[in-house]
Chain A
Amino acid sequence: MTRLDLEQIGCTYGTKRVLDDVTLTVADGEFLVIVGPSGCGKSTLLRIVAGLASATSGSVRMDGVAVDGLEPRERDVAMVFQNYALYPHMSVRKNLSFPLRVARRPRSEIETRVRAVAVKLGLSELLDRRPAQLSGGQMQRVALGRAMIRDPRVFLFDEPLSNLDAQLRTEMRGEIRRLHRELGITTLYVTHDQEEALTLGDRICVLHEGRIQQIGAPLELYRKPRTSFVARFIGTPAMNLVGGEVQGEVFRAGSLELSAPSLPNGPTTLGIRPDELVLGQGPRLTLVAVERLGRETRLECELDARTRLVVCLPGDVPTPAPGARNVGVELRSEALHWFDAAGRRLAAEL
């Protein structure tokens, strides 16, 4: 059982700062998801933890012991890659047993472990196949099996599900969760998919341009995004953000005026989740488009030429026809998020 500490990790390629002062702790047995848009440095961070790349500054500790400069095998981590990285010329059996064979474990032990892992992952029938003869989901299972076969101290996942179709992805998500519950191994999981992050993680770390935006439990991130980036990134459809200005406790954005008690003067961004909006008394908008998804109905509205708001109504409800003006939207004050010019959450929420 292992606790993983990243301390002020920085990483620079040439003049490009890929990671900046990343500090986080993965508790023993915890499932921590790092989420962020593509190119934000997630893989780099994971590779630094694995020992495949080295940080420019900072330190990685496992159970308090610095492992910087150690080879991956000395760190005893296992990693699952986005494209699975199965050895194409080896059978499934050989792929699974490779870490054990490299470690020169006795043949009988290898045999039993391969069998156990195969049973656990439903691969027993496929042991003699080559990767090229497997489906995406099966390859994914083999990659998982290869990672867990030698009981690593830490599991690292680098977008393992992004090559799968939507249905398989949901299925595998459940599988990964189940395995984590059973094995209880400390896990660092990287994805660009916030939904995946929300459903999988004990805690989530949002990364943006190499900087940690926020770390917290999924709902915490959803409810109290600490930056406008997190606010927009977490949750579908994304939170509506309206740029405006506060003057004397009144927020103005174009024709929109809202009372903003105890907020400082200055440029301010208003955030509100689409599903927190209801039709009713409030600012008058123009309805641009309607999307009916059955479970919910999305209305795309225009406040003025600059500002659009998405409204999400539960169920399949009747709406005005697109093009209708003067559609009233109710902005409940407890649903409003406020961010300052730098995108930081303003403490004065109600």
Chain B
Amino acid sequence: MSALFLPLVLSTACTVDERTLVVMAEEEQLDSWIVLEDLAREFEAEHPGVHVRLLPLGGAAGAQDKGKFMLAGDLQLDLLRIDITELAAYVGEGALLDLSPCFEADPTWDPQDYFPSVLAALRAPDGRLYGLPSTFTPYVMYVNRDLLHERGLEFPTPDWTWDDFLRAARSATRAADGNGRPATVGISLTQWLQAVAPWIWQNGARLLDDEGRAAMHEPAFVEALEFLHGLLHEERVASFDASFQNQLSQGLFQAGRAAFYGPVGYWETYRFRHIEDFAWDVVPLPRGERSATAIAMTVYVVPRTSAEPELAYRFLRRMAGERYQRTLARIGNGVPGLIAAARSADFLKPDVAPASEHVFLDVIPEARFLPPLSNWRAIETLCQAELEGILLVEDFDVAAACERMRAKTQRFLDREARRRSLPRMAPWAVPGTLALGLGVLVAIGLFRRGRRPVAWRAREERQAYVLLLPWGLGFLLFLVGPALVSLVLACSEWTPLRPFADKRWVALENVTRLFSDATFATSLKATAVYALVAVPLGLALALALALLLRRATFGVGAVRTLAYLPAIVSPVIIGALWRVLLRADDGLVNAGLEAVGLTGPAWLRDPDWVVPAFVLMSLWSVGAQMLVFLGALQAVDPALEEAARIDGAGTWRRFRHVLLPALTPVVLFNLLTGSINAFQIFAQPYVMTGGGPGDASRFLILYLYQTGFRHLDVGYASAIAWVVFALLALLCLVLLRWSRRWVWYAAETPS
């Protein structure tokens, strides 16, 4: 007996003895994951008893939220890769360990090994160092050499100017000619904040002024954006395709149809490495009043929930050490922060395009990070809406948009400043609310139960409760509990970067904030319009389809399946598919419209058409509703319709007086579920537009998500959640009340 237990005891003892290092530093699907695995095994070999557990960086579309929630849950996390734009937020919330003592105690540490400006970005104002760089990239311009040559243009010199650029762009722009050659544009212009920032800096403008206040209203700032707006809408030498959302799905440059592409980072060389149709290279950005460019970077940091900071530091040095940095460079991840790796052949790759990799190193002196003040990821989403407006919409008041950008950013900064001085929330708030909620539930249960039942019924009741228990527990644990917690959160200021216990009490401020939040108003309006149009249209279409498919004739089974299919496909897949279908220039929808002589709108790029585009898409997945209608139609006694036919009723009257009344219960069902679904639309805009252009498709739940996970403002997001819930509850109540006047139930016998 004991012999059986022995191995078990031993193995438990071993795991207790083993130290684990939890590292979240790479995406699982990338090549670097394998390299990191090698590194981990090597580290384990050198440190017996240490197990390195690699977790993939989670989250789609660059939203690396998993780490944040491990922090929020106080789970062990020893090494984390984050984006430099979020570093200030992490540091400000006390989410990182100060590594300075480790560096100071380490004889092998020499700051000179890293690019000084890169290292500086990782230092707090007081000089403390929080991590080491992974790879970074300055923004440069990609050039189609062949296209320039074909148009008789010189390859740009490193010190070319805006004027040189504009001239080249103009000559490179050609409308499609009769020989079937597609149109070419001067530049495929990137459109997110970090990509727009270089133009702003080159024009002598700035994002924040010396006091750290938003400075987007300053004339030089407006002028820089007007220049870009001009490229797109007056000069018409630029294309729209390189918005942040479209970045990974297409590229005019990749298709050989843009002379320039940028400003953009090193990561594109990885995507372009298979281009064989033309020669391409990189050059520094054209200079305006001065030269400047932006820089993007990911860094390794040690979170406060690290259980093994000492080991974490050692592993960090490995990851920022020469071998791993050179491997990352060879794979094409970015410019290594380690100078030796950056200057090595692994990065410069003499025989792989682009020829001028050194440009990425040359521009480092003029490259700037976004000011290390705050959560730039949040400011970026705030500004993105206005940027999209400026760049995508022809008649747009650039100065007014810049002013809005300033106001939004300033409001955010003000709140950030105020946040840390808010009073802490009492520790009993969450348990108290949970207990209160539970108490109310129990009280309701007891009250509704009423008189003590007779013995056999009591026994039956007990059995019923036992059977209900698993569901009941799940319901309490995963629904009621979180809902109550979010109620507490709605009255607090909290970011997942801080421990859950560290919530600040703001009472109803989050709710009052909603009233002055223009984005929320837009979001509410967009959602309401969407629901108001999509739900009735969807109902009508589902009903029409059901009526068509109801008669069993040849092939109907296949058609029914086809009609239902979209309803079971993941909304993310549908979103990805429709993003292609709805493309303005070569999408299938517009091709279809063209075939019947109509010019389709730019759908996802046009603030007036983006909501209709989502409505259109929603109609594509009415299969589930159709199925419900179909079931109800088949339950209608066919004799009723025949009776109506005999009574002289035509198709319409038979529908109106016989079928429709029988369908009213499922109409109500579909109306309710349809409205709820419409109000909760999320996945499609998340993958298709990210809320843009402007805020035009920032539907409520998307805004909620971005508030919580991008802006890291979970309290406000919870308030939004509760307001959305209240609105939906109200809507359902009104619908149910109203339905009493037109819904007819078969079992109903009115008195």
Contact = CB atoms under 8 A, between A and B. Distances in A.
A87 interface: yes
Contacts of A50: 642, 646
B643 A102 contact: no
Interface residues on A, range: 20 to 34
B639 A81 contact: yes
Interface string B636-674: 010110111111110001000110011000000000000
A98 interface: yes
A85 B642 contact: yes
B750 interface: yes
B639 A83 contact: yes
A132 interface: yes
Contacts of B643: 79, 81, 85-87, 146
Contacts of A130: 749-750
Contacts of B746: 88, 132
A81 B642 contact: yes
A110 B140 CA distance: 84
A52 B658 contact: no
Contacts of B750: 130
Q: Is the interface of B mostly helix, strand, loop or mixed?
A: helix
Contacts of B644: 87, 98
Interface in B470-510: none
B645 A52 contact: yes
B749 A133 contact: yes
Nearest to A99: B647
A241 to B, nearest CB: 37
A85 B744 contact: no
B648 A89 contact: no
Interface in B159-187: none
A132 B750 CA distance: 9
B351 interface: no
Most buried by A among B644, B646, B657: B646
A98 B647 contact: yes
A262 to B, nearest CB: 52
B277 interface: no
Contacts of B637: 83, 85
A161 interface: no
B744 A89 contact: yes
A293 to B, nearest CB: 37
Contact of A71 (B645, B658, B744): B645
A102 B639 CA distance: 18
A51 B662 CA distance: 24
Contact of A79 (B646, B661, B747, B748): B646
A133 B646 CA distance: 24
Interface string A81-104: 111011111100000001100110
Interface in B715-751: 744, 746-750
A51 B744 CA distance: 30
Contacts of A282: none
B392 to A, nearest CB: 51
Contacts of B649: 73, 98, 102
A86 B639 CA distance: 9
Contact of A78 (B640, B646, B661, B749): B646
Contact of A102 (B642, B647, B744, B749): B647
A72 interface: yes
A72 B645 contact: yes
A50 B644 CA distance: 12
A133 to B, nearest CB: 6
Contacts of A71: 645
A301 interface: no
Interface residues on B, range: 20 to 34
Nearest to A50: B646
A221 interface: no
A133 B642 CA distance: 23
Contacts of A90: 657
A132 B748 contact: yes
A50 B637 CA distance: 18
A102 B661 contact: no
A98 B649 CA distance: 9
Interface in A23-76: 47, 50-52, 71-73
B657 A72 contact: no
A83 B636 CA distance: 13
B645 A89 contact: no
B646 A73 contact: yes
A52 B640 contact: no
B642 A98 contact: no
A77 interface: yes
Contacts of B748: 132
A52 B648 contact: no
A132 B749 contact: yes
A47 B639 CA distance: 11
Most buried by B among A78, A81, A89, A132: A89
B614 to A, nearest CB: 36
A89 B661 contact: yes
B664 to A, nearest CB: 8
Nearest to A47: B642
Most buried by A among B647, B653, B748, B750: B647
B647 A146 contact: yes
A50 B648 CA distance: 12
B657 A87 contact: yes
B744 to A, nearest CB: 4
Interface in A137-159: 146
A40 to B, nearest CB: 19
Contacts of B662: 88-89
A97 to B, nearest CB: 10
Most buried by A among B637, B648, B747, B749: B648
Given A89-B661, A89-B744, A73 B645 contact: yes
Interface string B423-447: 0000000000000000000000000
B749 A73 contact: no
Given A98-B657, A130-B749, A130-B750, A85 B645 contact: no
B639 A85 contact: yes
Contacts of A79: 642-643, 646
Interface of A: 47, 50-52, 71-73, 77-79, 81-83, 85-90, 98-99, 102-103, 130, 132-133, 146
Given A86-B643, A88-B662, A132-B748, 14 more contacts: A52-B645, A71-B645, A72-B645, A73-B647, A79-B646, A82-B639, A85-B640, A89-B661, A98-B644, A99-B647, A102-B648, A103-B648, A130-B749, A146-B647
Interface of B: 637, 639-640, 642-649, 653, 657-658, 661-662, 744, 746-750
21 contacts: A50-B642, A51-B645, A73-B647, A73-B649, A77-B646, A85-B642, A85-B643, A87-B640, A87-B643, A87-B644, A88-B640, A88-B661, A89-B662, A98-B644, A102-B647, A132-B747, A132-B748, A132-B749, A133-B749, A146-B643, A146-B647
Top 9 nearest A-B pairs (CB, nearest first) are A73-B648, A85-B643, A85-B639, A99-B647, A89-B661, A89-B744, A102-B648, A72-B646, A79-B646
